[in-house]
Amino acid sequence: MCALIYDEHNLDKPMKEVISVHDSRKEAEQALESRKKELGRKVWECNTRVVWIEGKINAGNFVKTGQYSTWRSGEKIPEGELYSDTD
């Protein structure tokens, strides 16, 4: 299932809080857009991202690296996401 997690990209805090859980990536991306508007910030300023989590999870739970991934296995990755933005 897809979820929004709060991720400050801080290696000292490996546990990430699950903000919301969704049946599809589309629903999760819509929730991310709503959160962005609610906070009045750009996506990268929200410290929130869409991830795929195997198994059952609830909002308010915490996950650690290895329990989630950016893309579900076999999911088609948009072409713009294949390569890093850095040189």
- What ranges do the domains of the chain cover? 1-6+14-57
Residue 52 φ/ψ, nearest 5 degrees: -105, 130
How confident is the model at residue 32, as a pLDDT?
A: 94
Distance from C-alpha of 77 to C-alpha of 87, rounded to nearest angstrom: 20
Distances (CA, A) of 35 to 29, 62, 84: 10, 19, 25
Per-residue pLDDT reduced to its tens digit, 25-69: 999 999 999 999 999 998 888 899 999 998 899 999 999 988 998
Per-residue pLDDT reduced to its tens digit, 2-33: 999 999 888 888 999 999 999 999 999 999 99
In the structure, what pLDDT confidence band is assigned to residue 87 with cuts at 50, 70 and 90? very low
Strand positions, DSSP E, the chain: 2-6, 15-22, 48-53, 62-64, 68-69
How confident is the model at residue 21, as a pLDDT?
A: 97
- Evaluate whether 66 touches 54 at the Cβ level (below 8 Å): no
